[in-house]
Structure 1
Amino acid sequence: MAAVKRVIVFLQENKTTDFYFPTLADWGAQVADNGGLRTTAPDFDQPHDRNAWVHYRMGDYPAERMQLDNDQLIPYYSWLAKTFVFSDHHFGSGSNSTPGHMLAIGGQMPTLKNPPFVGPHPVWNLPSIFSVAEKAGVSWAAFPDQDGYPTKFYTTLTEAPGNANLHPPSQFIPMAKGGTLPDICYVWSPAGYDEHPPFTSAPDYLTKGQGLVWQRVQAVIDGGGWDETVFILTWDDWGGYADSVPTPAIETVPDALHPDGFPIIGGSRIPLLMFGGAVPQAIDSEWHSHASIPKTICDLLGLGTFGVPRVDEAPSLAQLVQPGLGRPVPPAPGSAITQPTPPSPRPTPVEPKPWPGPLGQPLPALVTLDGSSVPAPTDGVVRKSPPKAPVAPPVAPVAPPA
């Protein structure tokens, strides 16, 4: 029986469950049907910072309600979601990119906004899945984007010896094919391949993002790692897209409109897929946040206690993994994909159990590695008025055949 020896986390950008995986409703996932699935990717960004999220949850900002035809636009992801575990009650933070990534890395958010992506930026001495792995003697690597995002915000990842385990994203495929990947890998994508809506027109950005993840998974298969690897694929934040299922109001922070606090965890639902040779087919209906990602890794690889209550008390997905199951490998890149036949009759979505912990708690101060004091962040600016929804650029006409 092949034991699970490795966990690989792929973190892409800006999606909600309703927006990205509507056809999973046929498999019993709790997904809205707003009618009329879009067959082209939206080629523009949406407001999705803390201000947008708060006004969306207040009800005075509608967010974008579009839904994509995932079977057509992201057929590989659709195949994975239907063949392995699709979590339809996973969620991130009620803000944008950096809080989401840091919640997935270390279960904490020292900021509620995006620090500068280039140039001077803050660095925090916080525990992460990598510092926990190092302490447990488990090998690890991070593959941040072309600017070192988001690992550059962690002290232990910006100086020796930890920075020796950081690699450019281009190195993942050769390491995977060569069978030299460590036990824990967090993998980001360079600009243009992270599925973030483009700042200048690039209609193929979803195809490119899915394609890179597809090649990366195939590289692990080619290197002989399929049966011993658990893959987790998720997205950093909600991206400004509407979602029909409210998440538990677990932790709050004050703002100009809500001096007594407004939910920050949970934020919007965000899709999460877990797959690999030891992963069965299932719709996972239980609530869990990005903090459950490091918790699951700790449980699967025996890392012990993480040291951050939000992680140590998080629901785990490890119980879904069945070593030795021998699930089939996905189609190879470039293959025509035939979607699995959905069950008949359509399963009724399963309601999640109530969140097991307390609700409405103030966001706590952060746990640090050196014992220094880092208060809960309050830097997510919330304005009196909601943001203005962007105007979609005109769709370029399709040229007639020559």
Structure 2
Amino acid sequence: MSEKIKNVVILMFENRSFDRMMGWFDYNSEIDGLTPGKDCNYVNPADPSSLKICATNQGKLKDPLDPGHLYNDTTQQITGNGKLPSNQVTTADMSGFVANFAHNYPGIINNASALHQIMDGFSPDRIPITYELASNYTIFDRWFSSFPGSTMPNRMYLHSATSHGEPDTDSSKYLKGYPQRTIYNNLDDANIPWANYFYEIPSLLLFDELRLGELSHYKNWATFGKDAAAGTLPPVSFLDPAYFSIGTCIVENDAHPPSDVADSEKLLKEVYETVRASPQWNQTLFIVTFDEHGGYYDHVNTPLHAPNPDGLNVSDFNFDRLGLRVPAILISPWVEKGAVIHEAHGPYSDSQYEHSSVPATLKKLFNLPNFLTKRDAWAGTFENAISLDKPRTDCPTVLSDPPAPMTKPTTTNPISQAFCKLIKQILQGKS
């Protein structure tokens, strides 16, 4: 792998399960996806006479509600038991998604149309960019989030193979920061360059130790396109999408509901075509994944055994099991077209693909000396996916048009236009 791949680009979207995004993909019969009329939940998991909701491929790109996805929500979703402590899960039959959705939004408990939000996925034509990339490259259908809960702990696992005992997405703690070592510290020790390209905020500044290094690691979004075109992308690039909208100037494109998946499709197309056009393409691995399931249904039982990374716990969770399946795509001229990776290639018989697989694989790729925690030492690695003898020449250069967003922001007022121009200049480092 080290002879083929010289730079890695990582883009992590938010809050969509595998079944939500890829459950209806049909280009490869090996994909462990959804079955019409089979994948269902009851409003009351203990009562088969209660309202039954079965997954369809009619999911909306812009959902009206943000499903529950804290770790206690996830416990109910995978077990069907809303009173079970999160550290006492012994089975996961994936029966409680509708029940948890109704619990969080009691006004829709008898509204089958509204409840379908939590169960439904997308037909391939609704998300053409994701479908084209999946069918042209390699996906995992058993890649799990690292933590059965919300965004920030899972993102920390991608970077540091632990959340340092953090079970929540708690913005009050961001200023103080988190102390754990990251894969970027290991890269620094080996004198291997990296960069955090960002729309609005460089999320890697969440980590204390990454605030002490070179600020040149943090680059605004416009620089990503320039560096890719010039062939100067560093060996590792982490991309931050727009996590929130700024009026009509910046549109949230991280896929977090209720934002529009059409906007994340547009971003994915932009990043892929930028990387594909780069002179570095034949040495590139582009990794696309989602931080967590966002409360959306997935039919595959989540693994209930994983090593605690560092011995840190909270009162009702021991950080010793994984979250749900999320989409993950490996994009490179060195991977097979339309391939599906199932069971993990790892150091232990129970190793799984999860977000800690990224630092574990980067350790191998760049011959770094140390693992970060017990979790990346356990996680599956995917160097075996870089399997071709020579780079492919059939990789698409341009993808289809993304879907149209449900609402298109417009700025017609001259003062608003000037404000938006200033905002974009600031974000691009021009002001």
* Shared fold per TM-score greater than 0.5: yes
Deviation (angstroms), 1:336: 9.1
Partner residue in 2 for 1:40: 60
1:336, 1:25 → 2: CA distance?
19
One-letter amino acid matched to 1:317 = F
Q: Does the CA-based 8 Å contact 2:8-2:285 persist in structure 1?
A: yes
**1:187 aligned to 239, 244, 247, which one?**
239
> Which 10-residue stretch deviates more, 327-336 or 312-321?
327-336
Partner residue in 1 for 2:395: 329
Deviation (angstroms), 1:137: 1.8
Deviation (angstroms), 1:304: 3.5
Deviation (angstroms), 1:23: 2.6
Q: Does the CA-based 8 Å contact 1:85-1:280 persist in structure 2?
A: yes
One-letter amino acid matched to 2:12 = L
Partner residue in 1 for 2:301: 246
One-letter amino acid matched to 1:86 = I
Secondary structure at the aligned position of 2:264 is classed as: helix
1:235, 1:23 → 2: CA distance?
17
For the pair 1:173 / 2:225, whether they are aligned, the reply is: yes
Deviation (angstroms), 1:152: 2.4
CA 1:264–1:178 in 2, change beyond 3 Å: closer, same or farther? same
Secondary structure at the aligned position of 1:143 is classed as: strand
CA 1:145–1:308 in 2, change beyond 3 Å: closer, same or farther? farther
Partner residue in 2 for 1:18: 19
Secondary structure at the aligned position of 2:24 is classed as: helix
Partner residue in 1 for 2:88: none
Q: Does the CA-based 8 Å contact 1:169-1:190 persist in structure 2?
A: no
Deviation (angstroms), 1:228: 0.5
Partner residue in 2 for 1:363: none
Deviation (angstroms), 1:240: 0.6
**1:153 aligned to 206, 209, 227, which one?**
206
Q: Structure with the greater relative contact order (CA < 8 A, sep ≥ 6): 1 or 2?
A: 1
**2:291 aligned to 229, 236, 254, which one?**
236
1:336, 1:10 → 2: CA distance?
17
For the pair 1:208 / 2:263, whether they are aligned, the reply is: yes
Deviation (angstroms), 1:114: 0.8
1:329, 1:43 → 2: CA distance?
36
Pairwise CA RMSD of aligned residues? 2.7
Q: Does the CA-based 8 Å contact 2:118-2:295 persist in structure 1?
A: no
1:197, 1:336 → 2: CA distance?
18
For the pair 1:104 / 2:164, whether they are aligned, the reply is: no
2:174, 2:340 → 1: CA distance?
43
One-letter amino acid matched to 1:322 = S
For the pair 1:272 / 2:328, whether they are aligned, the reply is: yes
Unpaired segments ≥5 residues, structure 1: 338-394, 397-402
1:254, 1:181 → 2: CA distance?
38
For the pair 1:197 / 2:252, whether they are aligned, the reply is: no
Partner residue in 2 for 1:90: 143
Partner residue in 1 for 2:48: none
Partner residue in 2 for 1:31: 33
Secondary structure at the aligned position of 1:167 is classed as: strand
Deviation (angstroms), 1:268: 0.7
Deviation (angstroms), 1:164: 2.4
* TM-score normalised by L of structure 2: 0.70
One-letter amino acid matched to 1:302 = N
Secondary structure at the aligned position of 1:265 is classed as: coil
Equivalence map 1:2-401=2 (5 Å): 3-24=4-25, 27=28, 28-33=30-35, 34=39, 35-38=55-58, 40-41=60-61, 42-60=63-81, 61-63=96-98, 65-92=118-145, 93-110=147-164, 111-116=166-171, 121-149=175-203, 151-161=204-214, 163-191=215-243, 192-198=252-258, 205-251=260-306, 265-281=321-337, 282-286=339-343, 287-322=352-387, 324-327=389-392, 328-334=394-400
Deviation (angstroms), 1:226: 1.6
Secondary structure at the aligned position of 1:37 is classed as: coil
1:113, 1:169 → 2: CA distance?
28
One-letter amino acid matched to 1:184 = V
Q: If each structure's helix is expressed as a fraction of its own residues, which one has the higher value? A: 2
Report Cα offsets for 1:77-106 as digits up to 9, x if no partner.
111112221100110110100011001111
Secondary structure at the aligned position of 2:209 is classed as: helix
1:323, 1:298 → 2: CA distance?
21
Deviation (angstroms), 1:32: 2.0
1:26, 1:264 → 2: CA distance?
35
One-letter amino acid matched to 1:96 = S
Report Cα offsets for 1:247-294 as digits up to 9, x if no partner.
2212478777x5xx5665311111111111111132110131110011
Q: Does the CA-based 8 Å contact 2:225-2:274 persist in structure 1?
A: yes
CA 1:120–1:90 in 2, change beyond 3 Å: closer, same or farther? closer
Report Cα offsets for 1:199-221 as digits up to 9, x if no partner.
xxx5xx21211211211121122
Partner residue in 1 for 2:45: none
Q: Does the CA-based 8 Å contact 1:230-1:274 persist in structure 2?
A: yes
One-letter amino acid matched to 2:328 = L
1:77, 1:264 → 2: CA distance?
31
CA 1:233–1:62 in 2, change beyond 3 Å: closer, same or farther? same
